[in-house]
């Protein structure tokens, strides 16, 4: 009997010794992901942000952006939202009057098909009064296939176990490559949730707009570094730059259905085609035959919007906003400052927006800004 007990004890000890290294290895990753706030639920973030606590929400190891934006719209019930991909994330609450209830739901959709899914999830009575709708040009390219299979998962939040199992190895790789430091995690500001927010000051502000943080330091560099890679994408049919001589009929159907349903729910929609850096636009223009669909968008979309009493504006070329060449983040994303120019143009043409802002104040702020990036402070 004693012999059996000794064997059992020996087995337990050996087993424990075997698992100690695993526990230590996993423990480091768990500490990083947990202490940095990567496990913080979307509901917790929304509660903090809507209660005026200054929060910057930037995750590194999961991306619940569509779910976070949809849930924020439902919980906060704003009167005005900006809706689209990352190319609408530059609209700021500072563009509006102080008493205007605005939320930036940029990132809430990734394809034109997602628009109706997003609207379906907003309960009746919770819909916004105005949607500023950014429609990425590639939404209407039938040869663009990204994100086709993700509709069912778009508005869900990953479980902790899934986040951890998908990232614990990458955490070691990132640590080895100096992407984060333990000291900075331990010294994190209370308002930073997620490793990207802590290390790079990048993430979503309280109003849903995106803070690019450390990238601002690169904005003063020449435009070649910002646009690097985009010319190759255009010439080689890279993602979002696939050639097409026609507009997708399915995309037009989805847009028409979305606008019709917005009309039925008394939502006023202001559409726009978001800007490319001027040099990128010129490169697309030089390949007009390959990108024929691109130049048919405005005349095709305009009557669809008009049918429901709405307008769409074509800002595909950054120059159409009056922005300087430096007012870009990269080839497809303009800066907050460029979007302020764009917003002023929208407000001057749309009574619904004109009543929600002070255009003279915005122009004054714009004229007194020396930054290529932002007119307002970078505080979240």
* pLDDT tens column, 50-67: 887 789 999 999 999 999
Are 366 and 337 in contact by the 8 Å Cβ rule? The answer is yes
347 domain residue, yes or no: yes
User: In the sheet that 192-193 helps form, which strands lie side by side, from edge to edge?
Assistant: 192-193, 56-57, 203-204, 210-211
pLDDT value of residue 157: 74
Does 204 have pLDDT greater than 60?
yes
54 domain residue, yes or no: no
- Single pTM value for the model: 0.91
Name residue 311's beta-bridge partners. 270
Name residue 192's beta-bridge partners. 56
Q: What percent of the chain has pLDDT over 90?
A: 67
pLDDT value of residue 223: 63
230 domain residue, yes or no: yes
| Residue 128, token pair as written in the block | 């916004």
Mean pLDDT for the stretch of residues 188-209: 91
More confident residue, 345 or 214: 345
379 domain residue, yes or no: no
Are 76 and 229 in contact by the 8 Å Cβ rule? The answer is no
pLDDT value of residue 35: 85
Nearest one of 25, 26, 286, 280 to 161, comparing CA atoms: 26
Beta strands 80-84 and 130-134 are: parallel
CATH number for 345: 3.40.50.1110
What range does the domain containing 289 cover?
65-156+219-367
34 domain residue, yes or no: no
More confident residue, 364 or 191: 364
pLDDT value of residue 378: 55
206 domain residue, yes or no: no
Tokens 């990425």 appear where?
Answer: 136
123 domain residue, yes or no: yes
Are 334 and 321 in contact by the 8 Å Cβ rule? The answer is yes
| Rounded Cα distance, 39 and 72, in Å | 18
**Separation in Å, CA 311 to CA 61, 219, 267, 297, 303:** 39, 33, 13, 13, 9
Q: Longest C-alpha distance within the chain, in Å?
A: 91
112 domain residue, yes or no: yes
| Rounded Cα distance, 270 and 313, in Å | 8
For residue 350, give every residue at least 6 positions away whose Cβ sits within 8 Å of its Cβ, in sequence order, or none: 270, 311
| Residue 310, token pair as written in the block | 């709405």
| Rounded Cα distance, 113 and 129, in Å | 21
Does 84 have pLDDT greater than 80?
yes
Q: Name the CA radius of gyration of the chain, rounded.
A: 24
DSSP 8-class letter at 113: T
Does 9 have pLDDT greater than 80?
no
Does 190 have pLDDT greater than 90?
no
| Rounded Cα distance, 164 and 131, in Å | 36
Confidence of residue 172 (pLDDT cuts 50, 70, 90): confident
Are 198 and 188 in contact by the 8 Å Cβ rule? The answer is yes
Number of folded domains that form the chain: 1
- Give the CA angle between residues 72, 45, 217 to the nearest 5°: 100
């Amino acid at each position: 009997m004693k012999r059996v007990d000794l064997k059992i004890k020996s087995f337990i000890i050996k087993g424990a010794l075997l698992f100690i290294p695993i526990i230590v290895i996993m423990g480091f990753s768990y500490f990083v992901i947990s202490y940095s706030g990567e496990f913080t639920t979307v509901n917790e973030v929304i509660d903090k942000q809507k209660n005026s606590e200054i929060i910057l929400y930037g995750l590194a190891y999961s991306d619940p952006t569509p779910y976070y934006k949809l849930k924020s719209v439902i919980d906060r019930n704003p009167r005005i939202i900006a809706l689209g991909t990352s190319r609408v994330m530059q609209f700021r609450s500072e563009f509006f009057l102080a008493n205007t209830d605005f939320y930036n739901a940029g990132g809430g959709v990734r394809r034109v098909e997602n628009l109706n899914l997003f609207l379906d999830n907003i309960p009746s009575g919770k819909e916004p009064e105005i949607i500023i709708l950014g429609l990425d040009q590639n939404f209407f390219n039938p040869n663009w296939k990204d994100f086709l299979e993700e509709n069912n998962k778009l508005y869900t939040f990953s479980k902790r176990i899934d986040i951890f199992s998908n990232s614990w190895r990458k955490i070691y790789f990132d640590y080895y490559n100096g992407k984060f430091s333990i000291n900075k995690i331990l010294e994190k500001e209370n308002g930073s949730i997620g490793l990207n927010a802590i290390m790079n000051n990048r993430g979503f502000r309280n109003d849903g707009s995106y803070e690019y943080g450390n990238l601002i330091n690169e904005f003063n560099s020449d435009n070649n570094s910002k646009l690097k890679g985009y010319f190759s994408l255009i010439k080689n049919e890279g993602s979002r730059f696939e050639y097409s001589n026609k507009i997708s009929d399915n995309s037009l159907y989805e847009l028409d259905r979305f606008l019709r349903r917005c009309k039925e729910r008394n939502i006023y929609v202001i559409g726009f085609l978001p800007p490319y850096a001027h040099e990128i636009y010129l490169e697309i223009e030089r390949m007009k035959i390959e990108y024929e669909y691109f130049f048919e968008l405005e005349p095709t979309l305009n009557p669809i919007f008009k049918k429901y009493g709405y307008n769409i504006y074509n800002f595909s070329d950054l120059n159409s906003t009056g922005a300087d060449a430096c007012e870009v983040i990269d080839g497809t994303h303009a800066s907050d400052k460029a979007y302020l120019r764009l917003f002023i143009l929208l407000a001057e043409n749309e009574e619904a927006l004109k009543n929600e802002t002070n255009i003279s104040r915005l122009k004054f702020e714009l004229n007194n800004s020396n930054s290529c990036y932002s007119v307002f402070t970078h505080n979240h």
